[in-house]
Amino acid sequence: MKQYMLAVHMVEGAPTPSAEEMQQAYSQVDKVNKELQAAGAWVFGGGLLPADSATVVRADSSGTTMTDGPFAETKEQLGGFWVLRCQDLDEALSWAAKCSAACMGPVEVRPFEDEPES
Amino acid sequence: MDIDGVYRAEYGRCVATLVRLLGDISLAEEAVQDAFAVALEKWDTLPPNPGAWIVTTARNRAIDRLRRESTREARHAQALLLHQPDEPQEVGPVQDDQLRLIFTCCHPALAPDARTALTLRLLGGLEVPEIARAYLMPEATIAQRIVRAKKKIRDTGIPYRVPGAEELPDRLPPVLTVLYLMFNEGYAATSGSLIRTDLCAEAIRLARELAALMPDEPEVVGLLALLLLTEARRPARTGPAGELVLLPDQDRSLWNRALIAEGHDLVRRCLRRNRPGPYQIQAAINAVHTDGPATDWQQVLALYDQLQALAPTPVVALNRAVAVAEVHGPGLALAALEHLQLPGYHLLPATRADLLVRLGRMQEAAAAYDEAIALAGNETERAFLQDRRAGLTP
């Protein structure tokens, strides 16, 4: 079994969805989450507050600094994600299709590095 | 058949089987290459089943190699090998393996350019320099595409299996596209360079295998028919000096009758099944072109109407306009081209030029030919267009 991250990206400055659309997305995502849990593919998942809530922490030899705001100065920011356990990429991709439909946005699928063997 | 012939025929099949046995594409390639190197030394005469000999030797070589290595991939592969103790010693290539491999190579998660290169490398057994020459690309670019694709297959866990019936509608079209593009790449090269003709042969070989493995998929059969009926006309497509000869002027006695008969037979099978798709309709159009002493343009136009309903692309609209000109005259055809957008595609201005000539509008025709000449991708086509341009009489 491999683990995959399904990331949802938000475009800053894009028109905010209406309250009904948000409500619809929430209930759709909730339904997919239940499906994922029932299928045993669920590891973790959740939506994030907007990128302006982020703090970047850097620790090196000179000490620890903290900066307000997201790490990457781009318009596309991580909006939420799932971590799934799947047999192979095809399984992850078919879940991604359901997740994309549910949250009404594109979903990026990335595999985790395999855990080092002990 | 000599060892080169065995290599051509069996390489892809053997790699496909070894990928299943070893669980890794690169290890499989190495093992099969090792086995062919042994064959070069040992074969005085061909063994009764060369493919099975190669698979068995490759497998044994892989086990030896893996025992010497201690990487994670090696241990993984060795575990796979050791978990198949019940298999008979002599294992030939299994047909399903090839099908698995072609779906892996043409997986939609891979970049489209990489799919073709990987398919040619793994299933066609073409070397990187051969693929680079065929696509007129630097070797480093092709090599990098292949390495990246193999890495993505391994890292992301792209599976090695034939997709289930519910996935096929999404997964089959990229496979057919790869074979179609492979053929076209070879066919567009009218310079007669051997390597590029090989691309056509390889596309047809793989399409044949695919049709044998999936005989109930009408679009697979349709694609094979389309390739055969196009290939059949190749001998008449260029004249003695290598110049381009258009369909109405071709010497039909040069056409390959056997390929045409096979193609027509496949088109009839598709018609009986009555589940039309874009490849089947294009095959049917080519069947009409190769039926009898001259093309029945009414029928061709009806088929293009059907194709346009299924696949409303600008290229289909352009080809349909050619049929419109034959049935309803050049004026209507020219009107059909009016709003067509095909940037960089020389056949749009070339077709417009031809229609303008037939309407007696020579000045506009000359301008359209100039535009087409500037865009033409190969010498043969450019020479053909320049010839036409020079022949204009005001």
- Segment A22-48, tens digit of pLDDT: 999 999 999 999 999 999 999 999 999
Mean pLDDT of A9-19: 85
Which residue of A lies nearest to B160 if distances are taken between CA atoms? A88
Q: What is the ipTM of this complex?
A: 0.83
Q: What pLDDT is recorded for position B265?
A: 97
Contact between B156 and A111 using a beta-carbon 8 Å cutoff: yes
Q: What pLDDT is recorded for position A116?
A: 61
Residue B263 is inside which H or E element, if any? Answer: helix B257-273
Contact between A90 and B167 using a beta-carbon 8 Å cutoff: yes
**DSSP β-bridge partners for residue A52:** none
As a dihedral over the C-alpha atoms of residue B322, residue B323, residue B325, residue B328, rounded to 10 degrees, the angle is -160
Chain A residues with CB-CB distance to B155 below 8 A: 111
Task: Give CA–CA dist B81/A69, Å, rounded.
Answer: 52
Tokens of B310: 């299924």
How many Cβ atoms are within 10 Å of B308's Cβ, its own excluded?
Answer: 15
Contact between A111 and B167 using a beta-carbon 8 Å cutoff: no
Chain A residues with CB-CB distance to B167 below 8 A: 90, 94
Which residue of A lies nearest to B104 if distances are taken between CA atoms? A90
Q: What pLDDT is recorded for position B263?
A: 97
Q: What pLDDT is recorded for position B89?
A: 47
Contact between B156 and A90 using a beta-carbon 8 Å cutoff: no
Tokens of B268: 């009839």
Chain B residues with CB-CB distance to A109 below 8 A: 156
Chain B residues with CB-CB distance to A92 below 8 A: 157
- Across the interface, which of A90, A110, A117 has its CB nearest the CB of B159? A90
Q: What pLDDT is recorded for position B286?
A: 96
**Residue of B104, B106, B156 for testing the chain A interface, max A β-carbons within 10 Å:** B156
**DSSP letter at B393?**
-
Q: What is the mean pLDDT of each run of 10 residues along chain B (394 residues)?
A: 82 92 91 94 90 93 83 68 54 74 94 92 87 84 96 93 85 92 76 64 90 92 97 89 84 94 97 95 96 92 96 93 96 94 90 96 95 86 90 79
pTM assigned to the model: 0.81
Which residue of B lies nearest to A3 if distances are taken between CA atoms? B156
Residues B158-188: b if buried by 16+ CB within 10 A, e if exposed: bbbebbeeeeeeebbbbbbbbbbbbbebbbe
Mean pLDDT of A81-110: 96
Task: Give CA–CA dist B48/B50, Å, rounded.
Answer: 6
CB contact at 8 A, B377 and B346: yes
Asked whether the predicted pLDDT for residue A112 surpasses 90, the reply is yes
Contact between A93 and B109 using a beta-carbon 8 Å cutoff: yes
Closest alpha carbon to B66 in B56, B79, B57: B79
Contact between A88 and B167 using a beta-carbon 8 Å cutoff: no
* Distance of residue A108 Cα from the nearest chain B Cα, in angstroms: 11
* Distance of residue B81 Cα from the nearest chain A Cα, in angstroms: 20
